[in-house]
Amino acid sequence: MSIILVRHGETPLNVTRMLQPSHTPLSANGLAQAQRVAQRLAGMQLAGIVSSDLPRAMSTAEAIAAATGLTPSTTALLHERNFGDLRGQPYDTLGFNPLAMSDAPPGGESVATFLARVAQAFQHMVALRASLGGNLAVVTHGLVIRALLSHHAQRADDNELPRIGNTSISVLDATPPHAVELLDCTRHLDAATQHDARSLSGG
């Protein structure tokens, strides 16, 4: 059985490369992407869904729930990294890369705090998957997925992780060492719903 990591659908602020406030919704394209990934996951023998409760993740999880008949649970452990006072600001005008900063921005999380929370999220999802009779879908955010893949999964190579696309699927074996079986796959998207490669992946 597997843990299936799913990034949320596109948002208007992903496309305009803004660091997102917590209440950011999906765009029209993001809603269409959520329907596409839901149709794909409906054929993957899901036994459960757990999601970040931020609106962009919940809308994606609700589409998966509608396609599978499952009821998603939520946890704040799966929230995107909190960039505090930087949220709502254009990424490209900051003059530095906030996604790579180790210290906490004002009102936000440091990398150490964020990674400690992601470790708790991983423990939660592994325990939840173990209690189910099938695969677990985990709907979350770009930086969370990168942290899970970097620190809690075994990849076949040490190459730099790819950009995590909107509604991409990454699949981990449910048992240690949690080998990566599929990485950042968006083959469920067509030309009309494909994610924008320039959009912000995280934040």
Give me the active site residues, please: 8, 80
Question: What residues form DSSP beta bridges with 74?
Answer: 51
CA 80 from centroid of its chain's CA atoms: 8
E-state strands within 28-179: 46-51, 73-74, 135-140, 169-173
Give the side-chain half-sphere CA count within 13 A for 29. 17
Task: Please state, in angstroms and rounded to a whole number, the distance separating the CA atoms of residues 9 and 190.
Answer: 14
Residue linked to tokens 């990294």: 81
Give 107: exposed, middle or buried? Use CB within 10 Å, 0-12, 13-18, 19+: exposed
